Amino acid sequence: MSTDDTASTAAPTETGAGPEPDGLDRRDRGDTLVARIRSQPMTVVALGYLVLLSLFAVAAPLVSPYDPYATDFRAILDPPSAAHWLGTDDLGRDMLSRLLYASRSSLLACLQAVGLGLFGGVLLGVTAGYFGGWVDRLVMTLIDAVLSVPGLLLAMSIVGVLGPGLRNAMFALAVIFVPIFARLSRIQALAVREETYLEAARSIGVSHLRSVLRHVLPNIAGPLVVQVFITMAVAIVAEGAMSYLGLSIQPPEASWGNLLQRAFSSVASAPWLIFIPGLTITLTVVAFQVLGDGLSQALSGGHPQKAGRR
């Protein structure tokens, strides 16, 4: 992925990194990026869906019509109705309320996993790409060792050692996400390291830490942001699978995965219970992928709709 839109080409001074290569200041560049995103209808729809989902998840305690943990044995497996818009589960709990709380739990869990993976991956990848040599070889050997084991199997093994639970499951997912961000940030850092402005910064005595913070990270941020959204889609599926297997969020706490797992026990009498969390997972995964692809096209100056018609 090109970093022309984000990389500076003028030599830095003591107070800055030089002018923008295309003559645009940061506000103009931001306006251009927003305009490109707005020209992509599917990206806008995906972003709108994720914003609404996040708002409902955050406001779950305020908008939930019922207590998600309250059982009502007089309303077991009730179909969708005016009283319960999405019906009730096998314990008479309101499915809409549980779905809202499950969205809160699942999205927060995936943000934790991706955030930890991003931090660890960028730390390793930028270190390897910036310094090169034996540091690069050592880091990439560690990354290759992690990649040699199938991701979900590695995550399940880690949870098996540490014990089931949300914190351990998200740590396990973070471990398998680290190589994704490490390899991407390493490639980008290798390219930035050869730029004239970074060589000029080193020649005037700018420290390695300052060079990384002021010159390397800003110029590799675009591809990393795109990768965050794409990895969130992977995290949603992985967290759902681990919750389904009982390795992540534990009952009575709700997540999309354990809602799906519990729905299978009542599939014959209440098939709608499977579609509710299943459709939510599917839409969220697709939305993250569409948003990631759209942002990638916007950063590179293209339009995914035009590319798709070729």
For residue 267, the tally of other CB atoms under 10 A from its CB is 11
Q: Which residue would you say has higher pLDDT here, 59 or 7?
A: 59
How confident is the model at residue 55, as a pLDDT?
96
Q: Which two tokens stand for residue 46?
A: 């995906």
- The count of domains in the chain is 1
Backbone angles phi, psi at 88, to 5 degrees: -130, 160
Return the DSSP state at 251: T
pLDDT above 70 covers a percentage of the chain that reads 87
Identify the CA nearest to 129 among candidates 211, 201, 15: 211
Q: Is residue 82 part of a domain?
A: no
Q: Is residue 5 part of a domain?
A: no
Report whether the peptide linkage leading into residue 252 is cis, meaning its omega lies within 30 degrees of zero. Answer: yes
Q: Is residue 68 part of a domain?
A: no
Q: Which residues pair with 177 in a beta bridge?
A: none
How confident is the model at residue 249, as a pLDDT?
86
Q: Is residue 94 part of a domain?
A: no
Distances from the Cα of 2 to the Cαs of 127, 193, 297, in angstroms? 20, 14, 11
pLDDT tier for residue 6 given thresholds of 50, 70 and 90: very low
pLDDT tier for residue 180 given thresholds of 50, 70 and 90: very high
Mean pLDDT across 46-63: 95
Q: Is residue 219 part of a domain?
A: yes
The CB-side HSE value for 34 (13 A sphere, CA atoms) comes to 6
Cβ atoms of residues 136 and 186 within 8 Å: yes
Q: Which residues contact 196 (CB under 8 A, 6 or more apart)?
A: 9, 11
Mean pLDDT across 182-191: 91
User: CA-to-CA distance for 217 and 192, rounded, in angstroms?
Assistant: 9
Range of the domain at 273: 43-58+102-308
Coil, strand or helix at 280: helix
Q: Is residue 113 part of a domain?
A: yes
Radius of gyration of the chain (CA): 23
Identify the CA nearest to 232 among candidates 156, 168, 290: 290
Q: Which residue would you say has higher pLDDT here, 264 or 18?
A: 264
Q: Is residue 118 part of a domain?
A: yes
Lowest-confidence segment of 3-12, 62-71, 142-151 by average pLDDT? 3-12
Q: Is residue 10 part of a domain?
A: no
- For the stretch 98-123, pLDDT in tens is 999 999 999 999 999 999 999 999 99
Mean pLDDT across 68-86: 91
How confident is the model at residue 303, as a pLDDT?
45
First to last CA, the chain: 20
pLDDT tier for residue 56 given thresholds of 50, 70 and 90: very high
CATH number of 231's domain: 1.10.3720.10
User: CA-to-CA distance for 128 and 101, rounded, in angstroms?
Assistant: 40
User: CA-to-CA distance for 90 and 103, rounded, in angstroms?
Assistant: 20
